Amino acid sequence: MGEGRTLVTATPPTPNGALHLGHISGPYSGADMLVRAERLQGREARLIIGIDDHQSYVAVKALNEQRSSTAVAETYADEIERLFEQANIATGPNLRSHQSDLHQTVVHGFFAQLLEAGRIEPRTEPAPFCPNCERYLFEAYVAGDCQHCGEDSDGNQCEACARPNSCIDLGSPRCNLCGATPENHDVTRLILPLSQWSDRIGAHLAKAYLSPQLTSLAERMLGDGLPDIPVTHPTDWGLPAALPGVTDQRFYVWAEMAPGYIASTVALARAEGDPAWENAWLDPSVRIVQFFGFDNAYFHLFLHAGLMLAWNEAVNLPAAYVTNEFYELEGSKFSTSRRHAIWASELLDVVPTDVVRFVLAVDRPETARTNFDRERFEALADDELAGHWSPWLGDLLARLAVTGSPGAPPDAAQGDSRRYLDRLDELSELCLAAYTPSQFSPQLACRLMTAIEREGERLASSYARERSYGDEWVPSAREGLRLEFATAARLAQLAAPIMPDFAAVLWRALGMAGDVRWTGLGSLPVDRAAAPPAAPFFSSVAGQLESLMPQPQQTTPAVVT
Ligand SMILES: [Zn+2]
Ligand SMILES: [Zn+2]
């Protein structure tokens, strides 16, 4: 049994390009912060992500670059894994779906079982076909107007409103490879009759935590009736379906993802030698939390839930679904193809990881699109971290080196000290709550940490006159220092999910033993004298970002005659 455990999953990235800051700002950094917050409080938590090799966008990229899909997937999967490491995203084994035998065995077994049980079925329906390219069109290969919101949408799902389409219901459809208008040809695919599962899915979603925007999407989709979804497509890239009637087809990659999560969980259990993880998807004592961008909402809320219920009605579905909106760059969407992007690895090459994670947390597009702006990034890094946190903490540690560590405040503190500590506890509890799935808001956590840091600065300036007395401070000033020490300790604890390196350095500098962990202030594990770190906690990043900004498109200079 996995009592008290949390398994966090985030939509596996598509290896069709380097990850830009928009990718990192959403599910991946958020999921990592939740896992770290759980561990901070002594609870077991793991993150699984994986790599989504079989996306049609990989095949389209390969066609455009005249490379093999395998080569494209491998190149970018390597980059993505390096980036996760660079960004300090503590993910378990990232199964690459095109390479992993475990992934492929689990996925095949899953769909074979569904077919055997009659829960997916062959069905012949019209689908778009490009006469020029002689190709069945779906997903990345086709685009048109979304019937729900009217925005330009690719096949199968609309990025703007997050709702599925059948490809043949797109208005003014076009082949994304050649621009031709597709014909409709009959094709026999395996179909998941999702509509049959709508009551069960509705009952599950009513119990799970959903953000308000997910709740309204779910209400609307359930009200309109769920569409039946093909889980195989006649195409040349993807995991071969190898099931009766569709031997020449590939599994639909978004359907493959559901058993893919199960495979990743098995890989995690094996990598850790801890069988308690292995049955996470059937063990209700494991809490599963799913992170994804809102544009992928339908896959996780409906397609995956439907597939999992069809696989085993006793499945342990996610207890919480945490979403983000798009992170924009200078007012428009990050775009790999238009090179309108800040590449995450380039930014992490020049700016410390914790600083990037802090700015992404402050700017996290939690309920609305937010915007990356170089001046704002520099202001947050330089004015806040290098301008406030670093000088206060450096100064506090220098004073502690002279006066000796005051130790943790006693639980029985009285009067003004008690009132200060109560306020600190209140802010800290709110901050900790901002790391829970149902109130997840790194934005709020950063605002609260900033408020806590300012409390520390106020204490420091209140007793500034005492500094002229060397180490012979009066009792009230020593008490002030004790409260300041407690404030810094709280900051180390609360910053650990967002800025793990900074938190660990501060924890050690304050003289605390072991890894950063959540404790009552009366039981901080002080085991030695405080000592300032060798370098400042944060330095200015001014000027570091300029070379990373996208260059305006070159235009041909006018000829002067
Ligand atoms: Zn739409
Ligand atoms: Zn075409």
The CATH number that applies at residue 163 is: 2.170.220.10
Same domain, 112 and 144: no
C-alpha 297 – ligand 1 centre gap (Å): 12
User: What is the pLDDT, as a whole number, of residue 397?
Assistant: 96
Same domain, 276 and 364: yes
Q: Which domain holds residue 161?
A: 121-193
Amino acid at 351: V
Query: Which residues 6+ apart lie within 8 Å of 155 measured at CB?
Result: 128, 137, 138, 139, 140, 141, 142, 143, 165, 167, 170
**What are the distances in angstroms from CA 340 to CA 64, 96, 330, 379?**
19, 27, 9, 22
Is 243 part of a structural domain of the chain? no
C-alpha 143 – ligand 1 centre gap (Å): 12
Same domain, 125 and 115: no
Place of tokens 């900074």: 502
The CATH number that applies at residue 449 is: 1.10.730.10
The CATH number that applies at residue 26 is: 3.40.50.620
Q: Which residues of 162-176 are buried (b: 16+ CB within 10 A; e: fewer)?
A: bbbbbbbebeebbbb
Same domain, 297 and 323: yes
C-alpha 235 – ligand 2 centre gap (Å): 14
User: What is the pLDDT, as a whole number, of residue 469?
Assistant: 78
User: What is the pLDDT, as a whole number, of residue 342?
Assistant: 86
Paired sense of beta strands 320-324 and 286-293, if any: parallel
Same domain, 396 and 293: no
Report the C-alpha gap between 347 and 356 in whole angstroms.
8
C-alpha 100 – ligand 2 centre gap (Å): 32
Same domain, 134 and 168: yes
Judged by its nearest atom, the ligand closest to the C-alpha of residue 174 is 2
C-alpha 468 – ligand 1 centre gap (Å): 67
The total domain count for the chain is: 3
User: What is the pLDDT, as a whole number, of residue 522?
Assistant: 87
C-alpha 221 – ligand 1 centre gap (Å): 12
C-alpha 123 – ligand 1 centre gap (Å): 26
Amino acid at 309: L
Report the C-alpha gap between 354 and 386 in whole angstroms.
12
Same domain, 437 and 516: yes
Helix (H) or strand (E) holding 74: helix 69-86
Give the max Cα distance, the chain.
89
Neighbours of ion ligand 1 (CB under 5 A): 146, 148-149, 151, 158, 160-161
Is 333 in a helix, a strand, or coil?
strand
Same domain, 144 and 186: yes
User: What is the pLDDT, as a whole number, of residue 553?
Assistant: 53
User: What is the pLDDT, as a whole number, of residue 546?
Assistant: 83
Is 300 part of a structural domain of the chain? yes
Is 532 part of a structural domain of the chain? no
Is 557 part of a structural domain of the chain? no
Place of tokens 């996208």: 550
Task: Name the nearest CA neighbour of 380 among 359, 360, 353.
Answer: 359
Report the C-alpha gap between 382 and 365 in whole angstroms.
22
C-alpha 216 – ligand 1 centre gap (Å): 15
Same domain, 71 and 174: no
**What are the distances in angstroms from CA 406 to CA 302, 477, 478, 485?**
55, 11, 7, 7
Is 353 part of a structural domain of the chain? yes
User: What is the pLDDT, as a whole number, of residue 3?
Assistant: 57
Is 167 part of a structural domain of the chain? yes
Same domain, 80 and 165: no
Cβ-contact 389, 536 below 8 angstroms = no
Same domain, 115 and 220: yes
Amino acid at 423: R
Report the C-alpha gap between 192 and 306 in whole angstroms.
8
Judged by its nearest atom, the ligand closest to the C-alpha of residue 295 is 1
Angle between helices 475-495 and 415-433 (to 10 degrees): 10
Is 473 part of a structural domain of the chain? yes
* Domain limit, last residue, from 339, 354, 370: 370
Same domain, 323 and 204: yes
Give mean pLDDT in consecutive 10-residue pieces for the chain, a chain of 561 residues.
82 91 91 98 96 94 94 95 94 92 97 97 96 95 96 94 94 96 97 97 97 94 96 96 93 97 97 93 97 95 98 98 91 77 90 96 93 91 97 95 81 87 96 97 98 97 83 84 96 98 98 96 90 94 84 47 33
Judged by its nearest atom, the ligand closest to the C-alpha of residue 182 is 2
